[in-house]
């Protein structure tokens, strides 16, 4: 089966979806297309052999929820649940996908189509965000309720909720270190200045930090918040837009945003 998917995939059209939306085509062992799943909006989608999955496929080799896909304007992210193979490698952590990528799951081959006319078609999310994480940390995606996009001027790639594994160290310092790994991977060497760390609403379990990264004479200021939402550890990040002047104004606006976010957990 391993030889057929690549030959078969090259013969496929730009997109098999008449709607022109990003889509995931499933091909059986004989190379014939047996299903087509369309991503009709931003959000979290699951694929598996079960009624609870968003994309359901009758394949006994698939788990009930075999994989999850998080779709946003910047691209599509895969979170494996069962066994997923990409480029002859077993996927063990979140993977950013691009147009034409082929996955092996269960007895089927899946190919991603993101036509240029479709929304969310902009290449792939920077893989360095996921592959260069500190080994001691296990960051995982949580479902984005959409509230993250309510931050005025915020960078949508940064406006993501991360759930930290409960068995790992729960500290703001650990997350700031994680951010440093990401920034270094994306932009090279930089200096990092922690401007302030203070409790949110006088609650030590929910702290907020303002950090300035400087690299090649360019500065990026981020607000990072660590805390508990509904019993889960959550991290929220906001890249401060240039329109926000003072530190106090930035923190005030971020607090308002977190208050809105907390209502949904």
Query: Structural domain boundaries of the chain?
Result: 3-113, 128-262
Give the residue among 120, 119, 123, 103 at the shortest CA–CA distance from 111.
103
Per-residue pLDDT tens listing for the chain (265 residues): 334 433 433 334 455 666 677 889 999 999 999 999 988 877 788 899 988 888 999 999 999 889 988 876 556 778 888 899 988 888 877 777 878 889 999 999 999 887 765 554 433 332 222 222 222 233 332 333 333 333 333 333 333 333 333 333 344 455 556 556 655 655 566 666 666 665 554 444 555 666 666 665 666 666 655 544 444 444 455 555 555 556 666 666 666 655 554 443 3
Answer whether 67's CB lies under 8 Å from 47's CB: yes
Rounded alpha-carbon distances, angstroms, from residue 261 to 19, 229, 256: 33, 9, 9
Does domain 3-113 match CATH 2.60.200.20? Answer: yes
Strand order in the sheet with 75-80: 55-56, 43-48, 67-72, 75-80, 95-97
How many Å apart are CA 153 and CA 124, to the nearest integer?
Answer: 22
Other CB atoms within a 10 A radius of the CB of residue 150 amount to 13
Other CB atoms within a 10 A radius of the CB of residue 6 amount to 10
How many Å apart are CA 165 and CA 51, to the nearest integer?
Answer: 27
Q: Work out whether the CA dihedral 31, 32, 34, 40 comes out positive or negative.
A: positive
Answer whether 147's CB lies under 8 Å from 165's CB: no
How many Å apart are CA 48 and CA 57, to the nearest integer?
Answer: 6
Tell me the CA end-to-end span of the chain in Å, nearest whole number: 44
The single-letter DSSP state of residue 192 is E
Q: CB under 8 Å to 44, separation ≥6 — which residues? A: 54, 68, 69, 70, 71, 141, 143, 144
Name the region of 195 (left: φ>0; alpha: ψ -120 to 50; beta: rest): alpha
Give the residue among 96, 183, 87, 174 at the shortest CA–CA distance from 139.
174
Question: What is the predicted pLDDT for the residue at 110?
Answer: 95
Give the residue among 43, 61, 148, 74 at the shortest CA–CA distance from 105.
61
């Amino acid at each position: 089966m391993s030889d057929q998917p690549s030959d078969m995939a090259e013969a496929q059209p730009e997109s098999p979806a008449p709607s022109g939306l990003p889509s995931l085509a499933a091909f059986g062992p004989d190379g014939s297309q047996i299903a087509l799943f369309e991503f009709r909006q931003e959000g979290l989608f699951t694929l598996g052999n079960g009624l609870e999955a968003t994309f359901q496929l009758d394949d006994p080799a698939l788990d009930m929820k075999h994989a999850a896909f998080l779709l946003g304007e910047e691209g599509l992210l895969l979170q494996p649940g069962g066994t997923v193979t990409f480029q002859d490698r077993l996927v063990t952590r979140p993977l950013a996908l691009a147009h034409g990528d082929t996955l092996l799951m269960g007895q089927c081959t899946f190919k991603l189509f993101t036509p240029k006319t479709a929304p969310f078609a902009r290449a792939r999310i920077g893989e360095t965000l996921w592959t260069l994480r500190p080994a001691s940390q296990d960051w995982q995606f949580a479902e984005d309720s959409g509230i993250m996009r309510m931050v005025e001027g915020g960078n949508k790639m940064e406006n993501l909720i991360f759930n930290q594994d409960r068995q790992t160290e729960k500290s703001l310092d650990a997350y700031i270190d994680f951010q440093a790994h990401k920034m270094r991977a994306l932009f090279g060497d930089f200096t990092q200045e922690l401007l302030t760390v203070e409790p949110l609403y006088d609650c030590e379990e929910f702290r907020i930090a303002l950090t300035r990264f400087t690299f090649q004479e360019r500065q990026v200021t981020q607000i990072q918040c660590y805390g508990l939402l509904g019993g889960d550890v959550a991290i929220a990040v906001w890249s401060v837009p240039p329109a926000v002047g003072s530190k106090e104004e930035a923190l005030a606006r971020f607090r308002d945003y977190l208050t809105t976010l907390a209502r949904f957990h």
